[in-house]
Structure formats: structure tokens, C-alpha cells
A and B are shown apart, each in its own frame.
Chain A
Amino acid sequence: MPNMSQKKNPMPVQDPLVRARNFEEVALGYGEATALDEAARCLNCKNMPCVSGCPVNIRIPAFIAKVREGDFEGAYRIITESSSLPAVCGRVCPQETQCESKCVRGIKGEPVGIGRLERFVADWHNEHASAAPERPAPNGHRVAVVGSGPSGLSCAGDLAKRGYAVTVFEALHVAGGVLMYGIPEFRLPKKIVRREIETLRGLGVDFETNVIIGKTLTVDQLFEKGFEAVFIGSGAGLPRFMGIPGEALKGVYSANEYLTRSNLMGAYREGSATPILRAKRVAVVGGGNVAMDAARTALRLGAEKVYIVYRRSMDELPARREEVEHAMEEGIDFRLLTNPVRILGYQNENDRRDPKNGFVTGIECVRMELGEPDASGRRSPVEIPDSAFTLDVDAVVMSIGTSPNPLIKSTTEGLTVNRRGGIVVEEATGLTSKPGVYAGGDAVTGAATVILAMGAGKTAAAAIHASLSDNA
């Protein structure tokens, strides 16, 4: 008999006012009893609508059925048939617009908490399982993966499970890409990312850090070294700035830099070798998940006041609802329909050596209203005349997107990129214009989600397998 409660079991979380001052994980995860209760809400639909909403097609009803039986390890095995990073996806996937949006239970009441169950299963496995994963028999083929973010890890994992010798090349000093440098500890603890990477190592995946493909080695050199296919998952790249006055002032960061200093380099820890400005008042410009991460990081770094400055309204704000709610509970001040026009800085005209010179003191904004829908159907924001005002802040974090990194395309002949600089691929395979070279993730699409990147890595792995096993 299914559990007919219309509500999902709530996710236990740290108290908002406590968590806003620490870097511990916000969501604490289901316990066994809660997981069993939530699993019982699944109707085990024959046509499995939820699976069609999953970019990596996890057999969702099947894993939930295992949870219901109390066979958590069995559930884990079903998830990992399709996903290389279950503990990560259970935390950062936007389930509400994917699997859970298709759940029949969502028609009347709340959908099954698929993401929360996935996280429970992965965490249970990481806590209890001791056996190293079985290493598949080598098939004699070698594949290079460029970048160790979600798309690269997913591609590497799928290939390794099929017996390929996979080497992942990472430009930074640790593997994990955006999971390590971008998503903060309080949303995705780094030990979980390291654990998932260890699992891949256990499958035989080799990681080479400090290798920048396009600089240290070129894609063509990878083929010369004997790799038969190359997957490019190099991520999004150069941060965008608004082009307004004052963006070079001290205290203006891109979200990438701000988050990298805190997450990757550990600048949030006392005694860190890497500095970060401990600002008291911070404005984060932008409305995506990255903006939420930056704002909540600022709070945890000791800010007393943190603004989100976004030029459209809450309806258009692209971040996940859950992240927005968490941010609001923690006290982030959302200034919607607000657009920065200039960043203000301190300048002592009488003393050019004043150490405060050149530091941010505020951000001047104008109020916006939504005009007529444009060609894309979105109502574009229009400035309200004479509405300028200033927010007093000592740091500004620009979180308005990225443009593709030029390093690989500028050194790889025969690789076609689109108008925006994204690598052009065949959708069904991830194959680029260059034979043997596949790509996926933000390097192709521009900034998107972890799970879409993983889906692209998976697609490419299947295509690489089809191509190389045909040639064998």
C-alpha cells in the first residue's frame, strides 16, 4: 500500500541563522526511516514518466523500489548503472524541473522526493560500502578526457565501466572542476566530490592534474600519444563583466574568482594562504545559481548585509527555487528590477597614498520595469527615468555569466565553434567537426547545469564506444 501523503518528507536543514555563519552543509539528508517512508510514496508507474525527465535516464522507480525493500546497496547499483556521481546529483540537480516535474504524485500534491532519495542512497553507500568497485577487463582502447568537471567525470566513468583506459587531464591542481572550485562547501561538501572521484579511480580512471590542454599539450598531441578519441569538457570560461565604470576597483570580483578563492583555495578558513576580501556589505549582481552561491558565501565570510541585484523580477530569476528560498531564509536582501550603472570607489584627492584609495564604497543602481515581450517572448527590463540610488557596499561580485574559454579552440585546427564561441557538436553523439573529438557540457552549451553536462558526457561516451568498438 503506497503512502498517500500529499507532502514530501521535508529535508532536515540546519537552522538558517546558524548556517548563515558556517560552511557546514545546509541540507542534512534523510535518515533511513524517512527514506523508507518517502519511497513508499512512489506508485511505481509502468510508463515511468520520471525517467524521461532525467538527463541521464536513471531507472528511478526501480531504485526507489529497492529503497522500499530496504536494499539500499541494490538501489545504489541501479543508480550507478546510469550516473557516475549520485551523491553529487542528489544534491545539486534541479529535480523540480526534471524527474520530479514529471511525477504523477505531483498532479495532486507534491511529487516524490526523488532527489532526496538519490542523495540518501548515495550517502548510505558511501558510509557503509567497503568493497572497492570491480575493475572491468581492459578492452585495449585509450580515450583522453579534457577537464574533470561533471561532463568529463561522467564520460570517463561510463567509458571506464566498458573497459576503456581513460586519462582525465585537469588544468587545476585538483580534479572536480566546478564541483570543486564553483559550488560551495555548504551545498556540496568537497569530501563528497573527492569520494566520487576516488570511486572513478577505483574503476581505473587516471587523473593528470596541472595539464592545460591547448597549452601544455594540444588535442593533436593527445592523438599522437595514442589516444583514439578525445572528449572536451573544459567548461564555461571567461567571466563576463557589465562594462560599467568602476569594475576595476579593488573589491570587485567575478563570481568565478570569489568562489574559487573561497572553495578551491580555502580562503574561508582561518590562516589560509589565499586571501579574500572579508567585506561587511556585499552586492552580488545576477540571479542564477552561481549568484546565490556567491551571496551565501559572502554571508558566511562574515558580511552583515548581502544584496542580490537583479534587473528582472522574481518570475524571471533563473536560480533554483530551493536556493532562492534558502538564501532568503538566511537573510539575503533581494533587490529585484534593479540594474547597476556604476561602481563607486574611494579616492582621497589630497593623499594619493591613502591605503583606502581604489576600494569599492558603493554601487549605483537604477530601478527597472518590465516592458513589452521581446522576440524571445521574455519581457525585457526598461529603466525607470530618474530612479538612480546607491547601495553602500565594500565588495561587488559580478555573476552575469561567462563566455567560452579560447584556449582549446585557438590551438585545435578543424574545431568549429558557433557565434558565441561554443564548440559545435552533433546533438545525438557529441561529435565535433574534428574526427575523433567529442565535446559536451558548458564548453558546448555555455553555462548550464551539472546534470546536463553529465548527460552530454554520457552521450559522448556511448558514441565513442560505438565508434571504437566498430573499428576494433
Chain B
Amino acid sequence: MYRITEKRSLNPTVTLMEIEAPYVAASARPGQFVILRVDEEGERIPLTVAGYDREKGTVRIIFQIVGATTSALNRKNVGDTITDFAGPLGKPTEVEGLKKVCVVGGGVGCAIALPIAEELHRLGCEVHTVIGFRSKDLLILEKEFAAASDRLAVMTDDGSAGRQGVVTVPLGEWLEAGENYDEIITIGPLIMMKFVVATAKPYNVPTVVSMNPIMIDGTGMCGGCRLTVGGETKFACVDGPDFDGYLIDFDEAMSRSTMYRDFEAVRREEECNLFRGNE
């Protein structure tokens, strides 16, 4: 069992938790993920590590309440435990040797982008950051990004915070103005990452994307997380989750991500009804 030591709501749909998991905390690095189960009959879901405290032995996760499992997780409070918390899985994001990087995060993906931006900043890399959200209510971690970035653009779809527009707008402007990035690192919805890659391509800037497909074991056993990368089958759990964005078949990944859409809609509904019944 793994104890929750801190819980904070970042916005109405996004929650931060610190989980006591000394093994994971001791070896986790930015870009890696964990697999957790909330309770005994629960499903296994992957969540990217949003931070860790090696001394306290805790791991930070930040998750969006999108389905039954994340709803169940969100109902847990400080002092409660979850059944399983395994990791760190996947390869860490490669940050060594980078001198100037643009980090592009979208929605809850910003939670994962932050530790990478912080690590780059700590290593003395020049960090430019674009973060995008649907609206002001959903904006998270702005202060933290400001502290880790040499240049920051905040975007919202409706203009209720920062600038109105999508993340590729400032990215395109900066590239057009002649910013020479060693790399662009992007984490967010698949469709956003696809367009970040398309924006970077004319400038030939290497672009790393963080993939978060459906998976079960996360250790290279089930093959559910497979992606087509440069025409080859790769497994996000052991070969990734970071990949060369130019090589990813995004359309295929987007299609695969909807495999259980109907099932999830039903389960979410049941979970909500159940929760209402308890109140």
C-alpha cells in the first residue's frame, strides 16, 4: 500500500498528489512514468512522474480527472492509501548537453513538462516555454514555469489568460524570428503535439514528443502501447515514452487512443452515479 502524503487541487479537473513510494522516489527521473492501481479491483493506469523528493521518499503525480479510475483516485485524501504504485518505467527524457530548448506543454501535459523544464534550467540550459490551456480556470503551474524559463508564453483558447490562441502561434513566431533551438520538447494532447511537430519541421528543429498510449503492464510484456515510429513497431513503455516527433504516426496513435471510448464513457457514468449515491 502506498500512502498519500499531500493532495492539492490545481484546478477543477486537475489534482496534484504526493505518494509515499521510496523505491520509485529513489530512482525516478524526469520523463519517466509509474503504473498505479487505486484499489484491489482497479485497472492499471500509467501516469507520468511530475516530481519526486528522494529524501522524503515521495513521488508527485498530477492527473486530470477524465475517467473512472482518475475519479476514484481523486476521491482519496491525505493519509489514505492506494493499492499499487510501480515504477519508474520508461526511459528518462534526455537533457544532457542541451544548450537551448523550447518546451511546449498543453493542458495537464504541462505537469510533466515542468520537471523537464526545471531540470534543463538547473543544468544551465536556456529554456523557452509555451504552455497552453482551454481557459484561465484550467491554467496550472504558471509561477513554476516562470521560475524555470528564460522566456514564457501562456496561451488560452478563449483568451481568458495570457494570449488567445494555440501553442504553435508563439512557437512559430519564435522560430520565425530566428531562435535557434537545439531541441523542442513537447508534451500534451496528441493533436497538439502533431501540430508542434508540423510547426517545427520547416525549421528542421529536432522535436521530442512524449507519448502516453493505453498500456497494462508498462514493462514490455503486453504490447498494447505499440506505436509506429519511422515505419517500425515500437513500445512506448520500454522504447519511450519519448520519441522523435518527426517519425511518429500521430493519426494511428490518435485512433488507437480511442479504442475503449465507449467502455470508458459507461464506466465514468457508473462511477459518477455510485459516487452520488454515497453522498
Interface residues in chain A, defined as those with a beta carbon under 8 Å from any beta carbon in chain B = 171-173, 181, 209-212, 215-217, 235, 237-239, 241, 243, 247-251, 253-254, 256-257, 260-261, 264-266, 272-275, 277, 355, 357-358, 405-407
A243 touches B37 (CB 8 A): no
Interface residues in chain B, defined as those with a beta carbon under 8 Å from any beta carbon in chain A = 23-24, 27, 37, 41-44, 68-69, 83-89, 216-217, 219-224, 226-228, 233, 235, 238, 249, 252, 255-256, 258-264, 267
A273 touches B69 (CB 8 A): yes
A257 touches B258 (CB 8 A): no
Partner of A250, one of B27, B84, B88, B258: B258
B87 touches A257 (CB 8 A): no
Question: B40's closest neighbor in chain A, by CB?
Answer: A173
Chain A residue contacts of B37, Cβ below 8 A: 173
Question: A177's closest neighbor in chain B, by CB?
Answer: B221
Complex: A209 Cα to B85 Cα, angstroms = 10
Complex: A257 Cα to B213 Cα, angstroms = 14
- 10 closest A-B pairs (Cβ-Cβ)? A254-B223, A358-B255, A210-B86, A239-B223, A257-B222, A275-B263, A273-B43, A275-B260, A173-B84, A274-B43
Complex: A253 Cα to B214 Cα, angstroms = 12
24 residue pairs of the A-B complex, CB under 8 angstroms, read A171-B219, A212-B87, A212-B219, A215-B88, A216-B24, A216-B86, A217-B23, A235-B221, A238-B223, A238-B238, A239-B222, A248-B228, A248-B256, A250-B255, A253-B224, A257-B224, A260-B216, A265-B44, A273-B41, A273-B68, A274-B43, A277-B259, A355-B261, A358-B255
CB distance from B192 to the nearest CB of A (A): 18
Question: A267's closest neighbor in chain B, by CB?
Answer: B43
Chain B residue contacts of A181, Cβ below 8 A: 217, 221
CB distance from A269 to the nearest CB of B (A): 9
CB distance from A293 to the nearest CB of B (A): 15
CB distance from B52 to the nearest CB of A (A): 13
Question: B238's closest neighbor in chain A, by CB?
Answer: A406
Q: A241-B233, A250-B256 are in contact. Are A256 and B223 (CB under 8 A)?
A: yes
Chain B residue contacts of A257, Cβ below 8 A: 216, 222-224
Complex: A253 Cα to B222 Cα, angstroms = 9
B83 touches A237 (CB 8 A): no
Complex: A420 Cα to B259 Cα, angstroms = 32
Chain A residue contacts of B235, Cβ below 8 A: 238
B233 touches A243 (CB 8 A): yes
Complex: A275 Cα to B45 Cα, angstroms = 12
Question: B224's closest neighbor in chain A, by CB?
Answer: A257
CB distance from B72 to the nearest CB of A (A): 9
Chain A residue contacts of B68, Cβ below 8 A: 273
Q: A243-B233, A273-B69 are in contact. Are A216 and B221 (CB under 8 A)?
A: no
Partner of A248, one of B83, B85, B226, B238: B226
Complex: A405 Cα to B89 Cα, angstroms = 13
Complex: A209 Cα to B41 Cα, angstroms = 16
CB distance from B34 to the nearest CB of A (A): 9
Partner of A265, one of B23, B43, B88: B43
Complex: A249 Cα to B226 Cα, angstroms = 11
For the A-B complex with A209-B86, A212-B86, A260-B216 known, give 18 more contacts whose Cβ atoms are closer than 8 Å: A172-B219, A173-B83, A210-B84, A241-B226, A248-B255, A256-B222, A260-B217, A265-B44, A265-B216, A266-B41, A273-B68, A275-B263, A275-B264, A357-B255, A405-B220, A405-B238, A406-B220, A407-B219
Question: B68's closest neighbor in chain A, by CB?
Answer: A273
Question: A173's closest neighbor in chain B, by CB?
Answer: B84
Chain A residue contacts of B220, Cβ below 8 A: 237-238, 405-407
Partner of A211, one of B86, B227, B238: B86
Chain A residue contacts of B89, Cβ below 8 A: 212, 215
Chain B residue contacts of A275, Cβ below 8 A: 260, 263-264, 267
Chain A residue contacts of B83, Cβ below 8 A: 173
Complex: A171 Cα to B68 Cα, angstroms = 24
Complex: A256 Cα to B223 Cα, angstroms = 7
A250 touches B259 (CB 8 A): yes
Chain B residue contacts of A264, Cβ below 8 A: 216
Chain B residue contacts of A253, Cβ below 8 A: 223-224
CB distance from A222 to the nearest CB of B (A): 12
